[in-house]
Structure 1
Amino acid sequence: MRIKVREMVKDIQVAIMVTTDPEGHLRGRPMRAQKPDEDGKTLWFFTRDDSPKVDEIEGNPSVLLGYADPKSQDFVSISGKARIVRDKNKNKQLWTEDLRTWLPEGPDGDGYALIAVEIAGAEYWDAISSNVTFAFGYAKALATGKPASSGENAKVDF
C-alpha cells in the first residue's frame, strides 16, 4: 500500500501543506510538490527561508499534506514530520525550471530552503472516475437509498 500512496502523489503538482502556528492555529497553503524521494518516505518542497511556515515547522514539525487529482478522483492525506534543509546541492538535485516563478534566483539563489517531510502515515481515496460508473452508482443509490461503493479507501502506516 505504501507504493500505491507514492504512485498516487508522484504526478500531483500541488499539495496543501498544513502547519501549526505559535498560537496553535492550523495554517494551510498550496505548495509546489517535488517527486517523492528514492527512499519512498520523504517528500520535498521549496520555500523562501523567511516564510512563516519555516518558523512554524521549527516550532512544531508535525504537518499534514493534502493531495487531490479531481480528474482521476485520487485523494491522499499524508501526516508526517517536517524539517528545514539548507543544502545547495540538494536544491540543485530537486530543482525544476517551473520553480523560477517563485524563486527567480534559480537553484543557486540565496534566501530559500527545502522542507523535507518524513511520512508517518497516509490515507487515500481512490475512486472510480468513469462517467458510466458514476451514473451506475447514482442510479443504485437512488434505487436503494444506500451509497454506492465506487472506490478504495485505506489507511497506510509508513
Structure 2
Amino acid sequence: METKPQKNKQLEKIQEMVEDIRMAMMTTVDDQGNLVSRPMAALQMDEDGTIWFFTKRTSPKVDQIDNNQHRVNLSFSDVGDANYVSISGTADELDDRAKIDELWNPQAKAWFPKGKDDPELILLKVHTQMAEYWDSSDSTMVRLFQQAAAAITGNPPKMGENEKVYN
C-alpha cells in the first residue's frame, strides 16, 4: 500500500504499521444488524489518514455503508510480527476518474476486467476517526516465553505497546 506523510503526527505509527499490510478486513453492518467482514486491498493511506479502496458500484457493502451512517471498521494484522491495527471511521463512495487513474494497478484488473474505465469501478474512502494498535517489538521466541511464564505465574504477559489514536 502506498502511504503519504501524515498531517496528524499521531497517525504516523498507524501509517508505519499498515504500510506493508496490503489486505484489510472491512466490517460493515447488514440489514439484519449482523457484522459482515470481507478482505479488501488497501490502495493508499493519504496525508489525512484516509484509506482508499476500489469496489464495485453494485456491491452489497456499498448499500450497507449507506444504510448504517457510513460507519465501518478496518482491521490489519501482521501475525508474524504480532502487529495489529483496528481503524474505526466513516466510508464514502466516490466516482473520481482522476483518483482511479492515480491508484490503478494491474492486480485490480482481476476484479475489473474492463480496466480502469469499467463503469462498475468506484472508490471507497475510509476517513480514520479512531485507530487502536498493538505492536510487539519482541521476537516470536520471546513472546512464546512470556506467554509460558504468564501461564506458570498467573501474571498477564507484557506483549507490547497498545495505544488509541484519534484523528
* Same fold per superposition (TM over 0.5): yes
1:141 corresponds, among 141, 150, 157, to 150
Match of 2:123 in 1: 114
SS in 2 for 1:24: coil
For residues 152 and 29 of structure 2, the distance between their equivalents in structure 1, rounded to whole angstroms, comes to 44
For residues 53 and 26 of structure 2, the distance between their equivalents in structure 1, rounded to whole angstroms, comes to 10
Match of 2:14 in 1: 5
Structure 1 residue ranges (4+ consecutive) displaced by more than 6 angstroms after TM superposition: none
2:44 corresponds, among 29, 35, 38, to 35
SS in 1 for 2:147: helix
State how 1:72-151 maps to structure 2 within 5 Å: 72-151=81-160
Distance of aligned partners of 1:22 and 1:142 in 2 relative to their CA distance in 1, 3 Å threshold: closer
- How far residue 83 of structure 1 moved from its aligned partner, in angstroms, is 0.3
RMSD value over aligned CA atoms? 1.5
Match of 1:58 in 2: 66
Percent identity of the aligned residues?
43
Name stretches of at least 5 consecutive residues in structure 1 with no aligned partner.
none
* TM-score scaled by length of structure 2: 0.87
CA deviation map 1:5-54 (0-9, x unaligned) = 11111221111111112232221111111120132x20011001110111
Name stretches of at least 5 consecutive residues in structure 2 with no aligned partner.
1-9
The number of residues matched between the two structures is: 157
* TM-score scaled by length of structure 1: 0.92
For residues 75 and 148 of structure 2, the distance between their equivalents in structure 1, rounded to whole angstroms, comes to 30
CA contact (8 A) 1:82 1:116 kept: yes
- Is 1:44 the counterpart of 2:52 in the alignment? yes
